[in-house]
Amino acid sequence: MTTFDVAIVGGGCMGASVAYHLSRLGLTNVVLIEREPTLGTGSTGRNAGGVRHQFSHEANVRLSMESIRLFERFEAEIGTPIDFHQDGYLFLISSDDHASAFRRNIAIQQRLGVDVQWLEPRDIPALAPGVRLDGVLGAAFCARDGICDPNGVTMGFAQAAQRAGVTIRRSTDVTGIHVERGRVTGVETEAGRIETRIVVNAAGPWAGAVGRMAGVAVPVEPLRRHIFIANPPDRGGWDTGGPDGGAAGPLSRVMVIDFESSFYFHREGAGLLFGMGDPDEQPGFDTTVNWPMLEKIAPVAARRLPALADLPIAHGWAGLYEMTPDAMPIIGRSGDADGFYTIAGFSGHGFQHAPAAGRLLADLIAGRDPQFDLTPFAFARFAAGATLGEANVV
């Protein structure tokens, strides 16, 4: 039996970020527990790597601002390259209601100091050649948004924490959480018991199961999402063959999102990464690829990026979003078990918010003022009734 001040359950980007930020505060008697042989193989390793400021809820915009500042200096500060490309996010808007909502969002983002713009249709082809704009009323664009490597971020946080003295246990499954007289006292694993008075639930889509071990109903459901990679055009690459005779697709790594349908894509090397939400998907842990999903994507893709309709698919994979009822995360103490914390439920935007969210929870655990209003992320909000949720879930 071993003793640690803090036990973190889940070795994805969120758990690794908490471990790193605790170590920065001098709290190094910490164990990060991951059931797989390597870190970041769950939702962290299966996402598209997108990073954006463009959220509808002010609290999420603030998480993005802090996180992106760290991404921008990640290699210099933490020592790991993360292949960060800030070519922007471009949201294509096709309804009056969404146009009004995005204009309101832009006003919030600009008030906070984010350089985001509303673009007219004539301005879009310069950023995203090859995109057909039928029905598009305009677009929201932020040049500091982008994409980076989730594995690099996770390993960077984990290695920095480990250098500082944090213990990492891989291939270790947590089977129970001990609570005595309303207080966390330990974690049971297949390798034996760990004595601790603080447990962090950073289990992503499995946060509900970890919560139940502590007698806490954590309202997180897993939802499958697909990502596919298309090969590049055979002739001329992306430089020719577009609907106007120009480029067949974006020449940068700009993330283009057709907000009405949730269809999105960005350049991935010579190919194209793309995906779309499935309104018929039911909650569950299945991560096998539902190849018929391509039949739902095909008409949307053909309408927005005609070149994609003729491209062969190189491969595809599925990962899990960790959804809460209001699409907002849970950050902080959870339930009646003293010492039980949750950092989960990010509803598709966890990777990009891991730097800030990990810092916030580390401050709470250390008894510091995080200098951030955590009310929108409080576990207790679900008992209080309806809350203002996040509308820009992609």
Q: In CATH, what number is assigned to the domain containing residue 257? A: 3.30.9.10
CA 152 – CA 351 distance, rounded (Å) = 11
Percent of the chain exceeding pLDDT 70 equals 97
Both 283 and 261 in one domain: the answer is: yes
Report the pLDDT averaged over residues 318-335: 96
What Å distances lie between residue 207 and 50, 202, 221, 343, CA to CA? 22, 7, 8, 9
Q: Give the end of a domain, one of 303, 323, 343.
A: 323
pLDDT at 42 over 80: no
| pLDDT score for 240 | 74
Both 235 and 139 in one domain: the answer is: yes
Q: Is the dihedral of CA 151, 152, 156, 162 positive or negative?
A: positive
Both 208 and 357 in one domain: the answer is: yes
pLDDT at 241 over 90: no
Answer yes or no: are the C-beta atoms of 347 and 337 closer than 8 Å. Answer: no
Percent of the chain exceeding pLDDT 90 equals 88
Both 229 and 373 in one domain: the answer is: no
Answer yes or no: are the C-beta atoms of 64 and 353 closer than 8 Å. Answer: yes
| Dihedral of the alpha carbons of 162, 165, 171, 175, in degrees to the nearest 10 | -130
Which ranges of 73-149 would DSSP assign to H, the alpha helix?
A: 74-78, 96-111
Answer yes or no: are the C-beta atoms of 333 and 379 closer than 8 Å. Answer: yes
Both 316 and 353 in one domain: the answer is: no
Both 294 and 378 in one domain: the answer is: no
Could you tell me the pLDDT band of residue 41, with boundaries at 50, 70 and 90? confident
Least confident range of 26-30, 232-236, 313-317: 232-236
Both 265 and 361 in one domain: the answer is: no
| pLDDT score for 149 | 94
Both 294 and 168 in one domain: the answer is: no
Terminal-residue alpha carbon distance, the chain: 44
User: How many structural domains does the chain have?
Assistant: 2
Both 138 and 254 in one domain: the answer is: yes
Identify which of 389, 385, 364, 366 has the alpha carbon closest to the alpha carbon of residue 374.
364
| pLDDT score for 384 | 81
pLDDT at 120 over 70: yes
| pLDDT score for 238 | 79
Mean pLDDT over the full length of the chain: 94
Judging by DSSP bridges, how do beta strands 146-147 and 50-51 pair with one another? antiparallel
Both 319 and 329 in one domain: the answer is: no
Q: Give the end of a domain, one of 278, 302, 323.
A: 323
- How many CA atoms, within 13 angstroms, populate the side-chain half-sphere of residue 266? 23
Both 111 and 246 in one domain: the answer is: yes
**CB burial of residue 37 (10 Å; 0-12, 13-18, 19+):** exposed
Both 205 and 265 in one domain: the answer is: no
Answer yes or no: are the C-beta atoms of 214 and 24 closer than 8 Å. Answer: no
| pLDDT score for 244 | 67
pLDDT at 162 over 70: yes
Least confident range of 34-48, 60-74, 261-275, 304-318: 34-48
CA 131 – CA 243 distance, rounded (Å) = 8
pTM across the whole model: 0.95
pLDDT at 102 over 70: yes
Supply 331's token pair. Answer: 């950050």
Report the pLDDT averaged over residues 197-223: 97
CATH number at residue 166: 3.50.50.60
| pLDDT score for 99 | 98
SS3 for 148-192 is CCHHHHHHHHHHHHHHHCCEEECCCCEEEEEEECCEEEEEEECCE
CA 190 – CA 63 distance, rounded (Å) = 35
Could you tell me the pLDDT band of residue 243, with boundaries at 50, 70 and 90? low
**CB burial of residue 385 (10 Å; 0-12, 13-18, 19+):** exposed
pLDDT: which is higher, 174 or 270: 174
pLDDT at 67 over 80: yes
Answer yes or no: are the C-beta atoms of 277 and 225 closer than 8 Å. Answer: yes
CA 217 to chain centroid, in Å, comes to 22
CA 355 – CA 21 distance, rounded (Å) = 9
The answer to whether position 72 is within a domain reads no
Supply 28's token pair. Answer: 């190094």
The boundaries of the domain holding residue 333 are 2-49+150-220+325-384
Could you tell me the pLDDT band of residue 237, with boundaries at 50, 70 and 90? confident
